Structure 1
Amino acid sequence: MKYLFFSWLAVFVGSWVVYVEYSSYSELCRGHACKNAICDKYRKGVIDGSACSSLCEKETLYLGKCLSAKPNNQVYSGGWGDLEGVIKCQMEEVPRYDPGAEMEHRKEASHFNKPTKGTSVEKFREIVLSHLKTKVGEQANLEDLVSLVLFVADYNKDGLISLPEARSMWALLQLNEFLLAVVLQDREHAPRLLGFCGDLYVMEKVPYTPLYGISLPWVVELWIPAGVRRSMDQWFTPSWPRKAKISIGLLELVEDVFHGTFGSFLMCDVSAAGFGYNDRHDLKVMDAHHIVPEATFQEAMRERRCDMDEDCLYGVDCRTSCDLTKHRCTPEVTRPNLAKACGSLKDYLLRGAPSDIQDELEKQLYACIALKGSAEQMEMEHSLILNNLKTLLWKKISHTKDS
């Protein structure tokens, strides 16, 4: 009787696990539905882009392994001829529970109804300019950013932007990650944009992800203490000189997004899962959904109601304070990008660091983590700490083949 009971229990638990895993997979992995919706719009002439024909007619662009972490953001590995890429496809609406919903206007984008028929290229340019002014703020290089966006929109480079091309680009411009890919396309820290169709887009595949750590079955994860898990993650990392080069890449990314050519961006989730690196150990951004334009973030925070500071959090790392006289969040973040990046790198860099720089490296990392207030308010200290860290790491690895 005892064996029968345990056999029944094992079957019950096994069936429950299979059901939960299947339900989770079917909710997270809806690439077929996303592809069908995109291709239906393409065949009707509503949208167009460099990836449309390959995805919907030639079928040389295919969706492979599902990598999705959220139902509304479908992510797949895939192939496009000889190229390996990551395909990202947006489902129609952001779920109501998503705290980042106010940062991306997905509902408007998914209908592909803007610009309207009869809109001239000059009028579309004005629409894009107005949108980007709201997104990244007023700045001297805004016209250059608009020209860059229109250059990407004209995928066949015929000097014209058709209505379907414009509709695809307008949908893509609602996405923080796509905007950042355009802004950083000449920098080595962002994977190359390979193509798009509607609001589906294809990015260059990053060979090594995440930045560090190991993926374990969720059943195993339940039984591993957080401290042990952090130690285990550090076992699966490259040699220290290579970690130093990857870390320099993250510090350079902080420079690129803080008061960069096309405005300032806030890094609201600086976790290992959002980054990877290539064979040359150049850091690459894997998931930029939580790297948001500062102007967009500040506007959203001004509108957010709060009763305590904990209500004023976006993503994992972007926190402001609550103004209790107005019950509204203040717009300025309490920690700059650099402090968050150093917090993510601390254990990664200190483990295995050469003994002759261990103490100095630890001191600089803790000084970096202690930075408070916006980077703009403390620009000199911010720049000094950033340069000191980069110099210390470069001096140690400049003579090695890993540099």
Structure 2
Amino acid sequence: MARLSYMRIKYLFFSWLAVFIGSWVIYVRYNSYTELCRGHECKANICDKYRKGIIDGSACEGLCSKENLYFGKCLSTRPNNQKYLGIWGNLEGVIKCQMEDAEHIDFGSELEPRKEIVLFDKPTRGTTVQKFKEMVHSLFKTKLGDQGNLGELVNLILAAADGNKDGHVSLPEAKSAWALLQLNEFLLMVILQDKEHTPKLLGFCGDLYITERVQYTSLYGISLPWIIEVFIPHGLRKRMDQWFTPSWPRKAKIVIGLLEFVEDIFHGPFGNFLMCDISAKNFGYNDKYDLKVVDMRNIAPEKNLKELIKDRPCEVDADCVYGTDCSTVCDQSKKRCTADITQPNLAKICLLVKDYLLRGTPSEIRDELEKQIYSCIALKAATNNMEMQHSLILNNLKALLWKKISHTNDS
């Protein structure tokens, strides 16, 4: 009888403990979700400004009046960068919205600081279209450098800002465009709007914007429930990521697209852009295995980035890192960061795809492919003939991969 009572007490204790732990986990997860996923706040803020006539854009009516633009699954990873799957009529897209409480520059995590404390305060009432064009031109000059073709980019922006396509940009549309131009991703989408690897801009309202949805949203990897993720060793997790990938010819086609995107942003028509967060989750692909960049917020204009990082106080090179993957050297004599980026985009991309591409490589090209990938990873930005080496390595890699898959159905 005593043993039975002991067993009952033990059972009740462990049942209570399980309920307590389970409730705590649910509470923590709920708090985390509500902090990360603030789409209702974002919509309320945007629609309030739209109804007051402060902002306008091609998506405002669908979001705030007709209400045929719906927020779906939350994809946010930071509270100030809201990201959701969205449905707009018969279109599927991704909704991105910037919360207004990120006003500081944090080199370690915040790649797109909101530099304007008061959003939608520019341009002011009475600003002419010509004056607005001058404002945009001046912003581009600061971000991209003094290039002769900036006028073309200004015209592209004005065309994108005309949300209702009535032939002129209203003050509310101009306020929306100005807020969006503070974001690197929006600027890149306009610059690369005709490139196949860039997500298409579907619409905007204020600094909320909708891009096309990509079917596969990570270059590789498998999504696991968080409770399982906790108990998997890092090394095993990395190997598992490589198990769940397409066939090798399809991987090769995706990597060719990634190399083409590197070409698009390397000394393009409006300057060089640097990839400052090289993660498999920033690149996806469609059902035809064409590469699509799913997140371009961490790709910054080189000139703008150098201005931000140079002369920053430092003790070691690790103090001169922007984001996770853009770094310069600490000048020990001055204890200041230099402006010379140490590694080009191509080297970082080759490091990202090394294991992905070499796993399952046909034996007849494995040695040559491995040699080219390691040459690519060793590429340094500061060498005298870097641009020539960059072009040579990139073209050789593309040629080797394309030669091997050009006769297959996957190409």
- Closer, same or farther in 2 for the Cα pair 1:210/1:113, shift >3 Å? same
Tell me, what secondary structure is at the counterpart of 2:217? coil
**CA distance, structure 2, for counterparts of residue 116 and residue 61 of structure 1:** 29
Deviations 1:200-254 (A, max 9, x none): 0000000111111011122222221222111101111111111000000110111
- Closer, same or farther in 2 for the Cα pair 1:175/1:110, shift >3 Å? farther
Q: Kindly indicate whether residue 47 of structure 2 is the aligned counterpart of residue 39 of structure 1.
A: yes
8 A Cα contact 1:94 1:101, kept in partner? no
**Structure 1 residue 380: deviation in Å?**
0.8
Tell me, what secondary structure is at the counterpart of 1:108? coil
Following superposition of structure 1 onto structure 2, how do residues 91-240 of structure 1 map, counting pairs within 5 Å? Answer: 91-94=99-102, 98-99=106-107, 104-108=112-116, 111-240=119-248
Question: What is the number of residues matched between the two proteins?
Answer: 403
2:135 maps to amino acid: I
Tell me, what secondary structure is at the counterpart of 1:78? strand
**Structure 1 residue 104: deviation in Å?**
3.3
8 A Cα contact 1:364 1:385, kept in partner? yes
**CA distance, structure 2, for counterparts of residue 52 and residue 109 of structure 1:** 23
8 A Cα contact 1:47 1:112, kept in partner? yes
Tell me, what secondary structure is at the counterpart of 2:310? helix
TM-score normalised per structure 2: 0.95
8 A Cα contact 1:189 1:253, kept in partner? yes
8 A Cα contact 2:184 2:297, kept in partner? yes
Report the counterpart of residue 77 of structure 2 in structure 1: 69
Report the counterpart of residue 405 of structure 2 in structure 1: 397
Report the counterpart of residue 323 of structure 1 in structure 2: 331
2:41 maps to amino acid: A
Report the counterpart of residue 310 of structure 1 in structure 2: 318
- Closer, same or farther in 2 for the Cα pair 1:395/1:312, shift >3 Å? same
**CA distance, structure 1, for counterparts of residue 25 and residue 110 of structure 2:** 34
**Structure 1 residue 357: deviation in Å?**
0.6
Deviations 1:102-153 (A, max 9, x none): 7535252752010000000000000000001111112222111111111101
Q: Kindly indicate whether residue 252 of structure 2 is the aligned counterpart of residue 244 of structure 1.
A: yes
1:58 maps to amino acid: K
8 A Cα contact 1:39 1:52, kept in partner? yes
Deviations 1:247-288 (A, max 9, x none): 001101111111011111001112110010011211111111
**CA distance, structure 1, for counterparts of residue 268 and residue 108 of structure 2:** 23
Q: Kindly indicate whether residue 29 of structure 2 is the aligned counterpart of residue 14 of structure 1.
A: no
1:401 maps to amino acid: N
8 A Cα contact 2:106 2:113, kept in partner? no
8 A Cα contact 2:36 2:78, kept in partner? yes
**Structure 1 residue 377: deviation in Å?**
5.3
Equivalent of residue 292 in structure 2, options 279, 284, 290: 284
Tell me, what secondary structure is at the counterpart of 1:340? helix
**CA distance, structure 1, for counterparts of residue 51 and residue 117 of structure 2:** 18
8 A Cα contact 1:75 1:89, kept in partner? yes
**Structure 1 residue 157: deviation in Å?**
2.3
**Structure of larger gyration radius:** 2
Q: Kindly indicate whether residue 307 of structure 2 is the aligned counterpart of residue 299 of structure 1.
A: yes
2:114 maps to amino acid: R
Q: CA RMSD in A?
A: 1.6
- Closer, same or farther in 2 for the Cα pair 1:190/1:161, shift >3 Å? same
- Closer, same or farther in 2 for the Cα pair 1:347/1:300, shift >3 Å? same
- Closer, same or farther in 2 for the Cα pair 1:44/1:69, shift >3 Å? same
8 A Cα contact 1:267 1:337, kept in partner? yes
8 A Cα contact 1:244 1:397, kept in partner? yes
**CA distance, structure 1, for counterparts of residue 101 and residue 141 of structure 2:** 24
Segments of structure 2 that go 5 or more residues without pairing to the other structure are: 1-8
TM-score normalised per structure 1: 0.97
**CA distance, structure 2, for counterparts of residue 68 and residue 376 of structure 1:** 41
Report the counterpart of residue 362 of structure 2 in structure 1: 354
Segments of structure 1 that go 5 or more residues without pairing to the other structure are: none
Equivalent of residue 365 in structure 1, options 364, 373, 379: 373
**CA distance, structure 2, for counterparts of residue 20 and residue 390 of structure 1:** 47
8 A Cα contact 1:109 1:171, kept in partner? no
Q: Kindly indicate whether residue 281 of structure 2 is the aligned counterpart of residue 273 of structure 1.
A: yes
8 A Cα contact 1:74 1:88, kept in partner? yes
8 A Cα contact 2:73 2:85, kept in partner? yes
Tell me, what secondary structure is at the counterpart of 2:395? helix
Deviations 1:31-78 (A, max 9, x none): 000000000000000000000000000011111110001100000001
